Structure 1
Amino acid sequence: MGSVAGTDCGDFAAAPWLYPGTAAPGSGLLRGDGYHRARPRPGAGLGAARLDGREDSTLDEALCRAGVAGVGDRHLVVAVGSNACPAVVRRKFTAGNVDTTVPFLRATVVGIAVGHSAHVSVPGYVAATAFRRPGTRTPVFASLLDRDQLACLDATEPNYTRRTVTADECRLEIDGGQRPASFGVYVSKWGALAPPGAPPLRLRSQEALFAALLRHCAGFAALVGRRPHEYRSAMKALAGEADLRAALRQSFAASGWAARSGFDG
């Protein structure tokens, strides 16, 4: 069992440069302050995954003992940003007064890539978003959420729309061999950051992203006006100025830096 506490506590308000946080170490179950690793069983259902150190315990049995919904009564949602970080999910659900017991599944999604949303979040970082990219194979984590958890997560994502994606559009391959018929994914309402006429930028650290935008995006450089090594100061300034964040979002859209995600309609 691993702890979800520590220096990477998912508090991006204090340290936005840590976004998107540390992803889960592998498939497992978030419960309380601990993360219990799980091993999917090839050819078996998702609920049959074995918890490490508990050969007699499956994921579904652990959920039953916790008094929460089993795998069959949960919604599968692919995380493309900080929702792959158990500490972030625990923080969100604690704040929303919903249960924090969440299974995470390591997977690969085919046909979806991960980039950055064409807006700046309230804490000052540029968050992730999914976009369609046929043929691309992207390692991801998917969480299994009950109804209340899903509603709580939706409420924490005001800049995103949760899309339902079917297997004939994009395929999700979960470790252990499961291929679900559909899954949810959050897509930015503002588009994906992309140089005009080019594919969206792939997800990278905030330091690398700010450096790239200062070099190549004139609108960003004009509004932010800081050198690459001062990106933390820039993020703090953005966190404190709603008008500046809005101006950047409008600049991305006006200058052609906001590309369609491919999930429209």
Structure 2
Amino acid sequence: MASSSSAAVLARPDAPAHPSAPEDYPWLGPAIRSALLLSEEIVDLDPSGGVDAPTEQVDDALVDIAAIEQALAAEGVAPLAERTLVLAVGSNQTPETIARKYRRSGRDIPVTTPFVRCTVHDLAVGHVASIAAPGYLPAAPYRAEGERMELVATWFDEEQLAVVDETEPNYDRLRLSAEEFPLHLATGQEPAHFDVYASLWGVIAQGDLPIPLRHRQQELFDELVGLTGSSLTRGDAAEVCAALAAAPSALHELVTGHGLVAPDGLPR
């Protein structure tokens, strides 16, 4: 299904979604990839050899949208026109994470879900100013004029979207206009709008500038020690996550008390 190669099977959807360690969030690895989550496998949609340039700078479409539609039809699930496009900023970029969320929901829903790499403008990724239940600080988008990022967008059907919504208690799902946040998909499309999960708590910031996403919690915890002098996030990240999970409000109180929270600047 990739535009210049035969499809490659990446993994089974029932494979572990990520290491069980919250300190390793966001568990991304080589996350910026296009893929199709199917009932029996995860299929690579990227060209053979990978992609060396930002999605919007590639002359030809990287992903064949007709092949995606054919796969959806073959699985007997909703076409793209009946799905909601959601831009992911954290672990939701990976099919493994989404497959895990479907399984944990206990609902009998179709799992087939397309994931496509994309370029988005004027948006960046930082951290929610509060913890997720396991004790890590999850990712959150924020307005960042002049920034350009490579992320992954996902098409969810109605049932799938309801499941994912339920797994995001720290967020509001917002609809953003491409007039404000231009988006170019690997399919060659430039949709008029897309959804994002935006933090209910603001984002961690130094002054008015959000702190960009750190790819290991240890980096962020050490940074917060330097900014606050507090022992709350001092030490081994696994131990810090466990302590934060046992005191769910402590991190938000710490960053709020030290003026380390800023609004994400997204329209509500």
TM above 0.5, yes or no, is: yes
Partner residue of 1:214 out of 225, 229, 245? 225
- SS class of match (1:32): coil
Aligned to 1:3: 11
Segments of 5+ residues of structure 1 without an aligned counterpart are 49-57
Q: TM-score, normalised by structure 1?
A: 0.85
Q: Is the 8 A contact 2:131 2:251 kept in 1?
A: yes
Aligned to 1:30: 37
Residue 140 in 1 paired to residue 151 in 2?
yes
What is the count of residue pairs matched by the alignment?
A: 245
Structure 1 residue 24: Cα displacement: 4.3
State the alpha-carbon separation in 2 of the partners of residues 70 and 24 from structure 1: 24
Aligned to 2:65: 47
- SS class of match (2:163): helix
Partner residue of 1:89 out of 87, 91, 98? 98
Structure 1 residue 46: Cα displacement: 6.6
Q: Is the 8 A contact 2:22 2:136 kept in 1?
A: yes
Structure 1 residue 42: Cα displacement: 4.1
Residue 188 in 1 paired to residue 199 in 2?
yes
Structure 1 residue 233: Cα displacement: 1.1
- SS class of match (1:104): strand
Aligned to 1:202: 212
Aligned to 2:86: 77
Q: TM-score, normalised by structure 2?
A: 0.84
Q: Deviations over 1:81-105 (max 9, x none)?
A: 0100211100101122232211000
Q: Is the 8 A contact 2:13 2:38 kept in 1?
A: no
In the alignment, residue 94 of structure 2 is paired with which amino acid? C
Q: Is the 8 A contact 1:3 1:33 kept in 2?
A: no
Q: Deviations over 1:47-93 (max 9, x none)?
A: 32xxxxxxxxx111111111110111111000000100211100101
Structure 1 residue 131: Cα displacement: 0.2
Residues 15 and 44 from structure 1, CA distance in 2 versus in 1: closer, same or farther, beyond 3 angstroms?
Answer: closer
Aligned to 1:113: 124
Q: Deviations over 1:207-234 (max 9, x none)?
A: 211111112223xx2434x33xx12111
Structure 1 residue 247: Cα displacement: 2.2
Structure 1 residue 39: Cα displacement: 5.0
State the alpha-carbon separation in 1 of the partners of residues 16 and 149 from structure 2: 24
- SS class of match (1:112): strand
Runs of 4+ with deviation above 6 angstroms: 43-46
Residues 4 and 134 from structure 1, CA distance in 2 versus in 1: closer, same or farther, beyond 3 angstroms?
Answer: farther
Structure 1 residue 254: Cα displacement: 3.0
State the alpha-carbon separation in 2 of the partners of residues 43 and 134 from structure 1: 26
In the alignment, residue 182 of structure 1 is paired with which amino acid? H
Aligned-residue Cα RMSD (Å) equals 2.3
Q: Deviations over 1:137-161 (max 9, x none)?
A: 0110000000011111111101100
Greater Cα shift, 151-160 or 245-254: 245-254
Residue 67 in 1 paired to residue 80 in 2?
no
Structure 1 residue 255: Cα displacement: 2.3
- SS class of match (1:210): helix
- SS class of match (1:223): coil
In the alignment, residue 79 of structure 1 is paired with which amino acid? A
- SS class of match (1:122): coil
Structure 1 residue 45: Cα displacement: 9.4
Residues 139 and 44 from structure 1, CA distance in 2 versus in 1: closer, same or farther, beyond 3 angstroms?
Answer: closer
Q: Report the identity percentage.
A: 36
Q: Is the 8 A contact 1:10 1:85 kept in 2?
A: no
